[in-house]
Chain A
């Protein structure tokens, strides 16, 4: 039996089509993937992401303990800011990609992927020095309100002014009477918030947001739209585009790696890899012949397999068949061409600038 989130009954009430995702029963869509995708790009969408896990480092030395495990640098941001980061193994591969919130140097809150919850927590517990991380996943539901109308909807339900809560900043406060961590983050490429709240009040918050956003055209949105939205942004999905073998440097995520930090787990491997040069790079491409690229399709150059597609779809906003995949560095520059093998036949592809989608 898959696990359920506190919003399971709400999904059923809204006729969500429930599927098993990483052991969780979640809606892949409600009314339809494309309308939900478009609502997020033009109005607002509401996602249940309660399956994500939360781990907290608390007490003296919390920042140092967490910082030693992640690639980004919590010492460089202020309290009330968050960073996207890698959690790496000693070979430089991803244990997970995470968002770390700095409440204070004594309190670091980390959001991890659903599929990696148990693994991450065990990993952090085993490798953390000085502070013992606590798994707080059961204490939080998480709702993502995303889209150009998201800010207004959340603000109208919150007495605290949120203008000062810029991108990758967060605060705490009541939204619709529910105490939340209010984070200006997301996985769609649109403005919006991710709201962490007590599971018992998730449904209250969910329906309050839908009600408040009615006039703005908010819709509940499923995992399908979440995936097409993030693919158009070339945001990595753990298990597809990044995994325990590929490093952040190969994944084009050098910006989340702070090699000038004295130490973090996986740093030595990255320093070596950087010196030796990369053997592959994650690129975004579009097909210039009919077809839709999908994960695991081979990437061919001159008939030889040189890489593999890690994500792909027909982008509802960009209206093109787009894909993400690892290729040799010689094929990574914008404008490079190769083929994607689709059901035994090669379809021409060209490396393009990413994100595939840009606002406005």
Chain B
């Protein structure tokens, strides 16, 4: 994934989450950079469907063999879906951070928040 690491159709946060419009909801995961920095992901803790999250607020936890990291919501809203597959097989985050490794879907309470996130170019530059 040398160059295709940060798909153009996603939005990004400084905390290394990505967000993508998926119908009425927004799908959320962690970026290639995040999973690479974490190393082998061994545990993911996600909120229950129906939980309300606030942009920038913690919504879960992701753990690699070595470290524990917080997950921060890119946007405010209500959790409509949780990826059970990734809870049962956390290595999906490493294998397919933008695919099978997605974490939750959030129904946005303020659509403008998504537009306010970084695009791929800006995010890539922020990584230096």
| B-binding residues in A (CB < 8 A) | 28-29, 32-34, 37, 224, 227-228, 290-292, 294, 313-314, 316, 321, 343
Tell me, rounded to whole Å, the shortest Cβ–Cβ distance linking A160 to chain B: 37
Contact B66 A314 (CB under 8 A): no
Chain A residues whose C-beta falls within 8 Å of the C-beta of B64 in the assembled complex: 33
Chain B residues whose C-beta falls within 8 Å of the C-beta of A224 in the assembled complex: 39, 65-66
Contact A292 B42 (CB under 8 A): yes
Tell me, rounded to whole Å, the shortest Cβ–Cβ distance linking B95 to chain A: 11
Given contacts A29-B39, A291-B43, A314-B43, contact A34 B65 (CB under 8 A): yes
Number of B interface residues in the complex (CB < 8 A):
11
Contact A32 B39 (CB under 8 A): yes
Q: 6 closest A-B pairs (Cβ-Cβ)?
A: A314-B42, A34-B40, A292-B43, A33-B65, A292-B63, A33-B40
- Does residue B68 face the partner (Cβ distance < 8 Å to A)? yes
Contact A290 B43 (CB under 8 A): yes
Tell me, rounded to whole Å, the shortest Cβ–Cβ distance linking A232 to chain B: 11
Chain A residues whose C-beta falls within 8 Å of the C-beta of B39 in the assembled complex: 28-29, 32-33, 224
Chain B residues whose C-beta falls within 8 Å of the C-beta of A294 in the assembled complex: 68
Chain B residues whose C-beta falls within 8 Å of the C-beta of A33 in the assembled complex: 39-40, 64-66
Q: How far is the CA of A313 from the CA of B64 in the complex (A)?
A: 9
- Does residue B61 face the partner (Cβ distance < 8 Å to A)? yes
Q: How far is the CA of A314 from the CA of B61 in the complex (A)?
A: 15
Contact B68 A314 (CB under 8 A): no
Chain A residues whose C-beta falls within 8 Å of the C-beta of B63 in the assembled complex: 292, 314
Q: How far is the CA of A32 from the CA of B65 in the complex (A)?
A: 10
Q: Chain A CB within 10 Å — which of B63, B64, B65, B68 has the most?
A: B65
Nearest residue in B to A36 (C-beta to C-beta)? B40
Tell me, rounded to whole Å, the shortest Cβ–Cβ distance linking B87 to chain A: 8
Contact A316 B65 (CB under 8 A): yes
A-B contact pairs, 12 of them (CB 8 A): A28-B66, A29-B39, A33-B65, A34-B40, A224-B39, A291-B45, A292-B42, A294-B68, A313-B65, A314-B42, A314-B43, A316-B65
Residues 18-75 of B at the A interface (beta carbon under 8 Å): 39-40, 42-43, 45, 61, 63-66, 68
Nearest residue in A to B87 (C-beta to C-beta)? A290
Chain B residues whose C-beta falls within 8 Å of the C-beta of A29 in the assembled complex: 39
Contact A228 B43 (CB under 8 A): no
Tell me, rounded to whole Å, the shortest Cβ–Cβ distance linking B4 to chain A: 20
Query: With contacts A32-B39, A34-B40, A314-B42 known, what are 15 further pairs, Cβ within 8 A?
Result: A28-B39, A29-B39, A32-B40, A33-B64, A224-B39, A224-B65, A224-B66, A227-B66, A228-B65, A290-B45, A292-B42, A292-B43, A313-B65, A314-B65, A343-B61
Tell me, rounded to whole Å, the shortest Cβ–Cβ distance linking B41 to chain A: 10
Tell me, rounded to whole Å, the shortest Cβ–Cβ distance linking A34 to chain B: 4
Q: How far is the CA of A29 from the CA of B94 in the complex (A)?
A: 15
Nearest residue in B to A17 (C-beta to C-beta)? B39
Q: How far is the CA of A187 from the CA of B31 in the complex (A)?
A: 34
Tell me, rounded to whole Å, the shortest Cβ–Cβ distance linking A25 to chain B: 17
Q: Chain B CB within 10 Å — which of A28, A37, A290, A292 has the most?
A: A292
Tell me, rounded to whole Å, the shortest Cβ–Cβ distance linking B68 to chain A: 6
Q: How far is the CA of A316 from the CA of B43 in the complex (A)?
A: 12
Q: How far is the CA of A200 from the CA of B8 in the complex (A)?
A: 48
Chain A residues whose C-beta falls within 8 Å of the C-beta of B43 in the assembled complex: 290-292, 314, 321
Tell me, rounded to whole Å, the shortest Cβ–Cβ distance linking B107 to chain A: 26
Q: How far is the CA of A292 from the CA of B42 in the complex (A)?
A: 9
Q: How far is the CA of A227 from the CA of B39 in the complex (A)?
A: 14
Chain B residues whose C-beta falls within 8 Å of the C-beta of A37 in the assembled complex: 65
Q: How far is the CA of A33 from the CA of B43 in the complex (A)?
A: 15
Nearest residue in B to A35 (C-beta to C-beta)? B40
Q: How far is the CA of A34 from the CA of B91 in the complex (A)?
A: 10
Nearest residue in A to B67 (C-beta to C-beta)? A294
Q: How far is the CA of A292 from the CA of B62 in the complex (A)?
A: 10
Tell me, rounded to whole Å, the shortest Cβ–Cβ distance linking A346 to chain B: 14
Tell me, rounded to whole Å, the shortest Cβ–Cβ distance linking A228 to chain B: 6
Q: How far is the CA of A316 from the CA of B68 in the complex (A)?
A: 16
Chain B residues whose C-beta falls within 8 Å of the C-beta of A316 in the assembled complex: 40, 65
Chain B residues whose C-beta falls within 8 Å of the C-beta of A313 in the assembled complex: 42, 65-66
